[in-house]
Amino acid sequence: MEKKPVLVVALGGNALLKRGEPLEAGIQQQNILIAAGVIARLTDEWRVVLVHGNGPQVGLLALQNAAYSDVAPYPLDILVAESQGMVGYMLQQALRNALPSQEVTTLLTRVTVDPADPAFQDPCKYIGPVYTSVQAADLAAEKGWRIKQDGTGFRRVVPSPAPLAISESAAIHTLLQHDHLVICNGGGGIPVVQTGQTMAGCEAVIDKDLSAALLATQLQADALLILTDADAVYRDWGTPSQEAIGQVTVSSLAGTRFDAGSMGPKVDACCQFVRTCGGYAGIGSLQDGGRILSGQKGTLIIPG
């Protein structure tokens, strides 16, 4: 029996906890049930590898972590690992219930980064909840956080170095070959640096879209799908002339700039994958799911 094509899905942390929603387990569980329904339908046509974001979740863990002052705060790499377990478990439960005959496996995943990556000097990855300008200023002064504007609000930003290698890629490939729906690279992966044969965690959160594109390339996937809280990629976003981009070639996007803290990495990830593997990539809202890959909704990036 011929195997189905491989699809890597990157599910945004903001698709699991929508902007402005309280960071509560019950609310996240409800959103995960919706996400699981979409992912389950994709398995009709694809072998799915699922990468999830963790921006709101790892930010919440950092806040909880800082609230207990009797011990030193845990570093970000450990918080990313915690978020992989938390979100991965919730997705695994929901997907297994939606697909009783499908094996679903969550894999703790490390991703190597370069300690000299310039991202460490220019934090731009949003984590945690949205704050008012007053709240943001108070937190920056109290905790030494870097804060940047995100839409109409403000959020904490941390370094987001480029992913170089996925330590567990062989295990992911093996699980996929045995028809498991694999949940991996959560939050972009646990950030580690390697010196000789020794690995150590570092203070960063890797962009899950770039990590998903790297994984899709290593697996030689047929398609990459990025599901987020935006219905498409827009030219001139936030201006009167903004325009949704439908089907588009990689070459026609050359030179077009998108926000470095949100849509930019998504477009970069898709273009990188399409150029390298010759597959196609979609960006759009969770609710549109598979219709993005058929060109009916969202943005579809194709070779050319």
CB 10 within 8 A of CB 54: no
- At which residue do the structure tokens 């009797």 appear? 70
- Respond yes or no: is residue 65 known to be catalytic: no
Q: Which of 186, 208, 279, 297 is catalytic?
A: 208
4 has which bridge partners? none
Q: Which of 31, 55, 125, 282 is catalytic?
A: 125
Q: Which of 185, 187, 266, 279 is catalytic?
A: 266
Q: Which of 12, 13, 128, 186 is catalytic?
A: 13
Provide the greatest CA pair distance for the chain. 61
- Respond yes or no: is residue 266 known to be catalytic: yes
The pair of structure tokens assigned to 159 is: 């370094």
**d(Cα 145, Cα 159) in Å, to the nearest integer?**
11
Helix (H, G, I), strand (E, B) or coil at 97: helix
From 136, 168, 146, select the one nearest 51 (Cα to Cα).
168
Across 46-117, the runs of DSSP E, i.e. the strands, are 47-52, 104-106, 110-112
Q: Which of 12, 14, 53, 297 is catalytic?
A: 14
Burial of 7 (0-12, 13-18, 19+ CB in 10 A): buried
Helix (H, G, I), strand (E, B) or coil at 82: helix
- Respond yes or no: is residue 125 known to be catalytic: yes
- Respond yes or no: is residue 148 known to be catalytic: no
Does an H or E element contain 12, and which?
A: none
DSSP state of 121: G
Helices vs. strands in the chain: H and E counts, helices first: 9, 17
Alpha-carbon separation of residue 223 from 62, 281, 286 (angstroms): 34, 6, 16
What residues act catalytically? 13-14, 125, 208, 266
